[in-house]
Chains A and B, each alone.
Chain A
Amino acid sequence: MKLAGKQIDYNSSLFKDIFERLFPSMCLLAARILKDDDVAKDIVQEAFVKLWQKDNEDFTDENTLRAYLYVLVKNACISQLRKEKHKTNASIDEGLTIGDQEFLNEILREETYQLLREAINELSPKASKVVHLSLKGYSNQEIADELDVTINTIKTVKKRAYKALKERLGAEYIIILLTQFINFF
C-alpha cells in the first residue's frame, strides 16, 4: 500500500495505527450486514490484507482510505451473502440493489457514531450526558433543566465537543501525521 507516494510495510507502526483505528468500525458494519460477529471479523481481516496488497492505489488522505476500505468490506460481504444459501428470498439482482443502499445507510451510521464517540471521548462525562440527551431528542433548554445548569452551559459544552472533534478528526488529520512521518525519514 502506498500512502502519499510512499510504500508502507504491513508491519509498520503506521499500518498498525490505521488498522487498529479502522478495524472496529469496519467489523461492526460487516456484523450488522452479515448478522454474524465471527464471520465479520474474518471478512474485515481479509479486507485489510487486500488493502495492503493494493499497489496501484495511492491514498492521499484518511477519507479516501476509509472509502476504499468500505468498498472492500462491502464486496466481501456481498460474496459472503451469496454463499449463504438461505438468502434465497430475493433474486441476486434484487439482493444487490438492496445491498447497496443498505450498505450506504450503514456507512452513514458508522461514520456518524464515530464522530460522536470521538467528540465525547475527549470530554467530561457531562459532555457525554449532553450528547446522549440530545440523541433522546431533548432541546438545549430541556437538557439544561435536566442537568440543572444554564442553557449557555449546554451550548458551551456542545461547542467544545465539536471543537475537539474538529481537532481530532477534523478534515484529513492523518495526512498531517503522514507528512510528519515521511519527513522524519
Chain B
Amino acid sequence: MRKGIDVQIKNAKLLAGKVLDSLNKEQKEALSEWEKSAQNRILAKDILDEQAFDHWNQAFDGVDASEQWEVFLKRMNKEYRRGKSVRMQVYKAVASIAAVLVIGIALFVLFQKHEYKSQYQSVVEASIGPGSSQAQLILNSGQVVDLEGLASESIDEGSMSIHNKEGILEYQESDAKKELPSMMNTLKIPRGGEYQLVLPDGTQVWLNSDSELKFNVPFTGKERRVQLRGEAYFDVAHNANKPFIVESSGQSVEVLGTEFNISAYPEDLNIITTLVEGKVLVEQLLDGQTAMHEYLEPNQQTVLNKETKNIFKHDVETYLYTSWKEGRFKFDNEPLESFLTKVARWYDVDVFITDDSVKDIRFTGDLPRYKDMNNILNIIEAEMSVHIEIEDNKTIYVSR
C-alpha cells in the first residue's frame, strides 16, 4: 500500500503536468506507459474532468481546517494536559457556532440534493454481478428440472441417461434401452444464464442467455433436427448420412459437420448465422417452404432480415460473434443500443436509453464476460461520453 501511494503521488504530478502541458520527454513516456492500461485511462479521464474538479474545489472550500484544528487541540489538551484548560476566546466561540451553522445549512442543502437522487446509483456505487451456469431442462413428460440446484446424479429419459455436471448437460444412449421411443426435450436458459449441452450424437452446443433449444433424443429418421430460439454456438459431430438441421423462426440451417453460431432472438430484427468451420446451407423459410438459400464458407455470415425477408451474405471476423463462448464480449463498431441489448441478457438487467442520439454511438472493444458489469459500464461511460445511472442494480439508464 505504501508503495502504491508513493506511485500515486508521482502519477498525480504526471496528470497535473499533462493538463498544464508541462511534461518533459521522460514524464511523457512515463505517462503513456501508465496509460497503456485501459483502467488507468478510464481513471485519468474520470479525474481530469472539469465538473469533478469543480465539485472537489467546492467540497475543499467547505472543510474548515482551522475549525478542525481547534477540535484537534481541544481533544489533545484533554488527553495530554489534564488540568491545563485552554480557554477559547468569546469571539472565537461565536465564530465557531456561526461556522457550525453555516456548515449545517450547507450540509442540509447538499443532503437534500442528494436525497432527491438517492434511488439512483452511479456506476461506481452499483454492483451487478455476471451471469452463471443455469438452465432448466423440460423433459418429455413436461416435468421441469432445475439444473443449477441438481445433485450430480443422472436422469433417465427414455433410452437416454442424462448427466449434469459443472454447467454441462450430457446425453448418453444406454444400449440396454435402445428399443424405447424418442423423447422431446427442451433446454431453457434464463437471462443471466448460459449452459453447455452434449447431444447423444456427440454434437456440442453452447447456449447463451435467454435462449432455448428443443431436440429429440435420440435423433431418429434421416436427419438430426433441433429448434433454436436465442443464441447458440454449435460444434456438430460429422455424420454424412444424417444432416444436422437448426430451425429458427423463418430460417433453417443444414449442415453435415461443422462449427457455427446462430443468433435468433425473437426481439431482434435479424437472424445472424456465422460459420467458423466447414460448410452450411442457410435456407429462408416462408410458410415452411424454402424461399431463398445461401451456402456459407468459413468466415462468412448471413443476416436474415425478418421484416424485409431479405438474406444478405458477407465476410466477417467470426470471433466477434463467438467470443461470448470464450468468456469475452468482443465488438467492432457496434452501435451502443445493440451492444447494451447483448450485454443486458447476460447481466439480467434492463437498459433504457433515454436519449436517441446516443443509440448510434459505436463501440469497439474486447471486454471480460465473467466480471461485474460495473467494469463494462465504466468503460462505456468513459469512452463514449454518456451518463449512466443505475436503479437497484437492475435497471440501467443511459443518457447524454
Interface set of A (CB-CB < 8 Å, partner B): 10-11, 16, 19-21, 23-25, 27-28, 31, 37, 41, 44-45, 48-49, 52, 63, 66-68, 70-71, 74, 89-90, 100, 103-105, 107-117, 119, 131-136, 140, 155, 158-159, 161-162, 165
Instruction: Report yes or no: B69 in contact with A100, Cβ–Cβ below 8 A.
Output: no
Chain B's closest residue to A64 (CB) is B6
Which residue of B17, B52, B53, B68 is within 8 Å of A45 (Cβ)? B68
User: By the criterion CB–CB under 8 Å, are A45 and B72 in contact?
Assistant: yes
Q: Would you call B65 and A159 a contact (CB within 8 A)?
A: no
Assess whether A159 is in contact with B22, with CB atoms less than 8 Å apart. yes
Q: Are A89 and B53 in contact (CB under 8 A)?
A: no
Identify which of A11, A23, A112, A140 contacts B47 (C-beta below 8 A): A112
A11 and B80 CA atoms in complex are apart in Å by 11
Distance in angstroms between the alpha carbons of A119 and B71 in the assembled complex: 30
- Complex alpha-carbon distance, A19 and B22, angstroms: 30
- Complex Cα gap A25–B127 (Å): 27
Q: Which residue of A lies closest to B76 (CB)?
A: A10
Chosen A-B contacts, 28 in total, with CB atoms closer than 8 Å, are A19-B69, A19-B72, A20-B66, A21-B65, A24-B63, A28-B63, A49-B75, A63-B9, A66-B5, A70-B5, A100-B4, A104-B5, A107-B8, A108-B11, A108-B12, A109-B56, A112-B48, A114-B12, A115-B15, A116-B16, A119-B16, A131-B19, A135-B19, A135-B53, A159-B20, A162-B21, A162-B22, A165-B20
Most buried by B among A23, A133, A165: A23
A7 to B57, CA, bound (A): 34
Assembled-state Cα–Cα distance A90/B127 (Å): 9
Q: Which residues of chain B from 24 to 79 have any CB-CB distance to chain A below 8 Å in the complex?
A: 43, 46-50, 52-54, 56-57, 59-60, 63, 65-66, 68-69, 71-73, 75-77
User: Which label, helix, strand, loop or mixed, suits the secondary structure of the A interface?
Assistant: helix
Residue of A nearest to B127 (CB): A89
Partner of A19, one of B4, B16, B65: B65
> CB < 8 Å: which of B4, B8, B20 contacts A162?
B20
Asked if A100 and B1 make an inter-chain contact with CB atoms under 8 angstroms apart, the answer reads yes
Whether B16 lies near A109 (C-beta < 8 A) is no
Alpha-carbon separation in the docked complex, A136 to B54 (Å): 11
Residue of A nearest to B106 (CB): A37
A37 CA to B59 CA in the complex, in Å? Answer: 10
Asked if A165 and B16 sit within 8 Å, CB to CB, the answer is yes
What are the residues of chain A within 8 A of B46 when measuring CB–CB?
A: 109
Say how far A103's CB is from chain B's closest CB, in angstroms.
8
Say whether A135 contacts B56, CB under 8 Å: no
Instruction: Give A135's nearest chain B residue, CB to CB.
Output: B50
Contacts A24-B65, A108-B47 known; 18 new A-B pairs at CB < 8 A: A11-B73, A20-B65, A21-B65, A23-B63, A28-B56, A45-B75, A49-B75, A104-B8, A108-B15, A111-B11, A112-B15, A112-B48, A115-B12, A132-B50, A135-B49, A135-B53, A140-B21, A159-B21
Chain A CB within 10 Å, residue with most, of B46, B52, B72: B72
**Residues of A close to B13: CB separation below 8 A:** 111, 115
Set of chain B residues within 8 Å of A67, measured between Cβ atoms: 2, 5-6, 9
What CA separation (Å) do A141 and B66 show in the bound complex?
41
- Bound-state CA distance A181–B7 (Å) is 29
Interface residues on B, range: 35 or more
Report how far A115 CA is from B8 CA in the complex, Å: 13
Contact of B47 with A74 in the complex, beta carbons under 8 Å? no
Residues on A with beta carbons closer than 8 Å to the beta carbon of B57: 113, 117
Give A149 to B127 CA distance when docked, in angstroms.
47
Q: Is the CB of B48 within 8 A of A135?
A: yes
Contact indicator B72/A162 (Cβ below 8 Å):
no
- Pairwise interchain contact B22-A158, C-beta atoms closer than 8 A: yes
- Whether B107 is near chain A, meaning CB under 8 Å from some CB there, is yes
CB distance from A109 to the nearest CB of B (A): 5
- In angstroms, Cα B43 to Cα A104, docked, is 11
Q: Smallest CB–CB gap between B130 and chain A, Å?
A: 14
Please determine whether A117 and B15 come into contact, CB atoms closer than 8 angstroms.
no
CB closest chain-B residue, reference A63: B9
CB nearest neighbor in B for A161: B20
Q: Give B161-200 interface residues, CB cut-off 8 Å to A.
A: none
Q: For the complex formed, measure the closest distance between the CB of A65 and the CB atoms of chain B, giving whole angstroms.
A: 11
B14, chain A: closest CB distance, angstroms: 9
- Docked pose: A109 CA to B59 CA in angstroms: 14
Complex alpha-carbon distance, A109 and B20, angstroms: 16
A49 to B54, CA, bound (A): 30
In the complex, residue of chain A having the shortest beta-carbon distance to the beta carbon of B385: A137
Contact at B21–A74, with CB atoms within 8 Å? no
Shortest Cβ gap from A120 to chain B (Å): 9
Q: Does the CB pair B20–A104 fall under 8 Å?
A: no
Closest 8 pairs between A and B when the two form their complex, measured CB to CB: A111-B12, A162-B22, A115-B16, A24-B63, A135-B50, A20-B65, A112-B12, A162-B20
